Structure 1
């Protein structure tokens, strides 16, 4: 295990714990983990995951702003909520289509850009699925939508196997921990939404 992997893991776990508690500090801590993981994923040729970190950087800044800015209609900061069903269904369909397209591109990226990606991508479709689902989950999380946790649970399950196969077993173990944290986050956010309605 490298120092980048260890530090990225520590900051990432801290960030997930903070977000399950709905703490705004999650975004600053998350930015540190994003930068560390960006370097790690490039080194182990999970190119979709490396590119994913750029997105996380932007969404972390957006989430930080969104969670701290009072809503114009209520004057209160954003609280946890359920995503409207129609919007959630559309988001799921777009996620699947984009994941298939990205997997196709990543399976050929070493041919398209050989100077940057000198070797073929490993598991391009699984990598793309987890990448796009993570994009969706992060976007929903910045909006404090409870459904984001469903995406994280699926990503964690796939990630456990993917990273184990790539022999970054510490990250595979991390995804086991993240799976339990995502389940806990889902339960916590659902309770918070229920208490708000009561």
Structure 2
């Protein structure tokens, strides 16, 4: 049963990333389901921070869906386009970059200490790192900040090593695909998207 759920998570995860590259708001619904599955998978594998990260993903999926649905520019482009949705994005500002780096550092220290001192996690450093960066990257995605793809490339590479060590081989395949498609996503947003200096994105 656990392996079946993991395979379902892999398939829905791939669909999620395809929708993310296309900036289709249905990605948030698919992401919600994928995250629910991986809460169970990571709990069983004692990858606790990633388990809590997926609980966070469940919550942020609701936020992201509402954020993208309420964005008038996105709704208008979706309504007028029957083929490819308009991709809009913004860049990190210096102020947001400082906030991002500070947030990752604080989250990493907190998560590592919890995992190291209060759980039987076999990979506290890697688990804390991927979770800290993943939390921040998902928030950046909800705000359509293009540099979130760079964070995902790093996270996915580290995650492949962690999940291989824990014997989650279908998930290893998923995260290899995530890493490759994150590069595709960055290229697609940059070359086919429209840059907006809009704080409401």
TM-score norm. by structure 2 comes to: 0.86
Match of 1:115 in 2: none
Cα deviation, 1:120-159, whole Å, max 9, x if unaligned, reads: 1121111010011110110000111101101100001101
| Superposition deviation, residue 84 in structure 1 | 1.3
Residue 95 (str. 1) matches residue 96 (str. 2)? no
1-structure distance, mates of 2:13, 2:108 = 24
The answer to whether the Cα contact below 8 Å between 2:13 and 2:174 also exists between their aligned partners in 1 is no
What is the aligned counterpart of 2:74 among 73, 77, 100?
Answer: 77
Match of 2:124 in 1: 124
| Superposition deviation, residue 166 in structure 1 | 1.0
Q: After the TM superposition, which segments of 4 or more aligned residues of structure 1 sit over 4 Å from their partners? A: 194-197
The answer to whether the Cα contact below 8 Å between 1:81 and 1:193 also exists between their aligned partners in 2 is no
Matches within 5 A, 1:47-58: 47-58=48-59
Match of 1:105 in 2: 114
| Superposition deviation, residue 77 in structure 1 | 3.0
| Superposition deviation, residue 109 in structure 1 | 1.6
Matches within 5 A, 1:58-77: 58-70=59-71, 75-77=72-74
Q: Which runs of 5+ in 2 are unaligned?
A: 76-87
- Indicate how the Cα distance of structure 1 residues 133 and 195 shifts in structure 2: closer, same or farther if over 3 A, else same: closer
Match of 1:9 in 2: 10
TM-score norm. by structure 1 comes to: 0.87
Coordinate RMSD, CA, aligned: 1.8
Match of 1:114 in 2: none
- Indicate how the Cα distance of structure 1 residues 82 and 192 shifts in structure 2: closer, same or farther if over 3 A, else same: farther
Higher RCO, Cα 8 Å, sep 6+: 2
Match of 1:117 in 2: none
2-structure distance, mates of 1:195, 1:155 = 25
2-structure distance, mates of 1:46, 1:148 = 23
The answer to whether the Cα contact below 8 Å between 1:100 and 1:125 also exists between their aligned partners in 2 is no
The answer to whether the Cα contact below 8 Å between 2:90 and 2:196 also exists between their aligned partners in 1 is no
| Superposition deviation, residue 195 in structure 1 | 7.0
Cα deviation, 1:38-59, whole Å, max 9, x if unaligned, reads: 1111011111111111110111
Cα deviation, 1:30-88, whole Å, max 9, x if unaligned, reads: 11101100111101111111111111011111110111113xxxx52383111212212
